[in-house]
């Protein structure tokens, strides 16, 4: 049974008080040593609860500490005591039965822990190149921030992850890059390392600046701030806080950095850019589709529109791109009001847009060349840049947004309503996989989405995330060629240099 907030906070206070007894650097090295102790498999590594260990490291540096003349010598027994105290926290958070809906518990767990389970995604890194590399505005802003070009940053990202994929040594120095000194000067590589690292002397300041927690048991579920700077620089070495956190950093660093630099500018700029990226997948899959520009020319004033509609025999699939991610508060909360507020301009808005457009198509069936004919079977895919973890439309309705969706559905005629179970919230990575599945398996989107609906209709087979539907449809899923080709164009020149 979960405990109340005061009991949890009392435990946290005891942990922080215990931490203060020891030298911060010594404790940091000991906790990293624990994380990097050899294990038999990935499950054993996961059992170390790295999200808790990184939270301990955060607490070690973020709290002000009075000067202690005689800091205690850190023993293995001290480490064992600290680990025991921290693991006890898991029994003091809310249990699944204490949530208003089980999906809210799983959302908290997913944001907290999934980043430590997902292996490096080469497609995610390649996608960054396709989205950002050729854009002058993004390059200018990125260079102002880090004194390095986006193209060079991505190339060096591929290089550095190769070390942490294959080597048990969890720290490197500048000379590790020496085989590449003929291609990149030391200053450029130093700028790259500086961008993804924090000097240990600045760690307290950095963690305090990036800290978004207001305390309480919700902090337990936060994604570690080290995803922004997975390397700690000390002496002449860069120590990786955790390989999986390094992977997540490299997969999203450009997006995250530009968004943090100027959120309003980036949101206004990236939305259209992200929408156009979906063209690649749609063209690759060879589906028949309508674009927003085609549709707008055929619509009367007041009718809402989505970005694309795939129209095939048997269904219309509405697709709306929302270049968003869930906010910090939206990830750690179990409040329906907060989650609703965080997705009102993405998930909820997309549902309204799609049904408004479907009703217009229904009422004017076949009268406009820029629109598909009405089909009684309709779907909606809301494609986001990162995970919202909302499940399908029915889960979203039952767990989070029933009143908001009821308001939308009451505006439109029954024949135009897209059934809740036909609505899916998916990431751009799942969208690319979906397009590849259609292309390479020579199947329709209707077939794949019916498979997902059937899965979700049974508690034994229902999925938490759409990516699981894709995996269950086929065991032979490969990234689309445009991502593979981009990765090869980056990797091949680097491989030639290293081999020579």
Q: Indicate the CATH number for domain 264-484.
A: 3.40.91
Question: pLDDT, tens digit, for every residue of 327-340?
Answer: 999 999 999 999 99
Distance CA 347, CA 345 (A): 7
Question: pLDDT, tens digit, for every residue of 122-145?
Answer: 999 999 999 999 999 999 999 999
Element of type H or E holding 408: helix 402-409
Distance CA 215, CA 212 (A): 9
Phi, psi of 195 (to 5 degrees): -65, -35
Distance CA 24, CA 61 (A): 7
Distance of CA 112 to the CA centre of its chain: 11
Q: Which of 38-47, 261-270, 365-374, 395-404 ranks highest by mean pLDDT?
A: 395-404
**How far apart, in Å, do the first and last CA atoms of the chain sit?**
60
Contact 140, 445 (CB under 8 A): no
pLDDT-derived band at 65, boundaries 50, 70, 90? low
Question: pLDDT, tens digit, for every residue of 427-454?
Answer: 999 999 999 999 998 899 999 999 999 9
Kindly state the tokens that stand for 225: 């701030």
pLDDT-derived band at 219, boundaries 50, 70, 90? very high
**Dihedral of alpha carbons 128, 257, 331, 116, sign:** positive
pLDDT-derived band at 156, boundaries 50, 70, 90? very high
Q: Mean pLDDT across the chain, nearest whole number?
A: 93
- Over residues 394-400, the mean pLDDT reads 97
Q: What integer pLDDT is reported at residue 71 of this predicted model?
A: 82
In the chain, what are the domain boundaries? 5-101, 116-261, 264-484
Provide the Cα torsion 367, 373, 376, 380; round to 10°.
Answer: -120
- Over residues 270-283, the mean pLDDT reads 96
pLDDT-derived band at 1, boundaries 50, 70, 90? very low
The answer on pLDDT for 324 being more than 50 is yes
């Amino acid at each position: 049974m979960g405990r109340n907030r005061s009991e949890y906070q009392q435990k946290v206070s005891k942990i922080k008080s215990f931490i203060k007894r020891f030298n911060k650097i010594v404790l940091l090295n000991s906790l990293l040593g624990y994380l990097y102790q050899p294990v038999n498999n990935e499950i054993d590594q996961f059992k170390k609860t790295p999200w808790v260990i990184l939270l301990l490291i955060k607490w070690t540096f973020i709290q002000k500490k009075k000067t202690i003349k005689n800091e205690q010598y850190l023993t293995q027994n001290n480490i064992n005591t600290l680990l025991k105290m921290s693991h006890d926290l898991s029994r003091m958070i809310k249990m699944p039965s204490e949530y208003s809906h089980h999906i809210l518990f799983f959302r908290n767990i997913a944001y907290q822990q999934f980043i430590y389970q997902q292996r490096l995604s080469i497609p995610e890194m390649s996608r960054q190149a396709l989205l950002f590399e050729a854009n002058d505005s993004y390059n200018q802003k990125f260079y102002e921030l880090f004194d390095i070009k986006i193209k060079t940053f991505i190339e060096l990202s591929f290089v550095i992850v190769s070390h942490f994929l294959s080597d048990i040594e969890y720290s490197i120095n500048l000379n590790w890059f020496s085989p590449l000194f003929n291609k990149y000067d030391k200053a450029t590589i130093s700028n790259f390392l500086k961008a993804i690292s924090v000097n240990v002397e600045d760690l307290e300041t950095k963690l305090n600046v990036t800290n978004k927690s207001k305390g309480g048991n919700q902090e337990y579920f936060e994604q570690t701030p080290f995803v922004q700077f997975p390397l700690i620089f000390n002496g002449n070495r860069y120590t990786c806080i955790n390989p999986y956190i390094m992977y997540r950093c490299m997969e999203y660093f450009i997006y995250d950095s530009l968004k943090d630099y100027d959120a309003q500018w980036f949101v206004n700029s990236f939305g259209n850019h992200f929408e156009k990226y979906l063209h690649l997948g749609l063209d690759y899959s060879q589906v028949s589709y309508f674009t927003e520009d085609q549709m707008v020319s055929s619509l009367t004033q007041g009718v809402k529109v989505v970005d694309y509609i795939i129209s095939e025999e048997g269904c219309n699939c509405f697709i709306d791109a929302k270049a968003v991610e869930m906010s910090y508060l939206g990830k750690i909360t179990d409040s329906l009001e907060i989650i609703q507020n965080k997705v009102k301009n993405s998930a909820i808005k997309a549902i309204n847009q799609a049904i408004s457009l479907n009703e217009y198509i229904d009422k004017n069936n076949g009268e406009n060349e820029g629109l598909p004919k009405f089909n009684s079977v309709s779907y909606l895919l809301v494609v986001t840049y990162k995970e919202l973890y909302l499940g399908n439309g029915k889960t979203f309705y039952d767990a989070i947004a029933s009143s908001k969706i009821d308001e939308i559905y009451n505006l439109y005629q029954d024949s135009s309503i897209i059934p809740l179970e036909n609505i899916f919230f998916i990431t751009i990575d799942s969208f690319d996989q979906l397009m590849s599945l259609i292309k390479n398996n020579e199947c329709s989107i209707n077939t794949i989405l019916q498979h997902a609906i059937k899965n979700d209709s049974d508690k034994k087979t229902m999925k938490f995330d759409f990516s699981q539907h894709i995996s269950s449809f086929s065991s032979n899923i490969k990234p689309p060629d445009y991502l593979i080709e981009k990765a090869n164009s980056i990797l091949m020149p680097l491989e030639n240099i290293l081999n020579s």
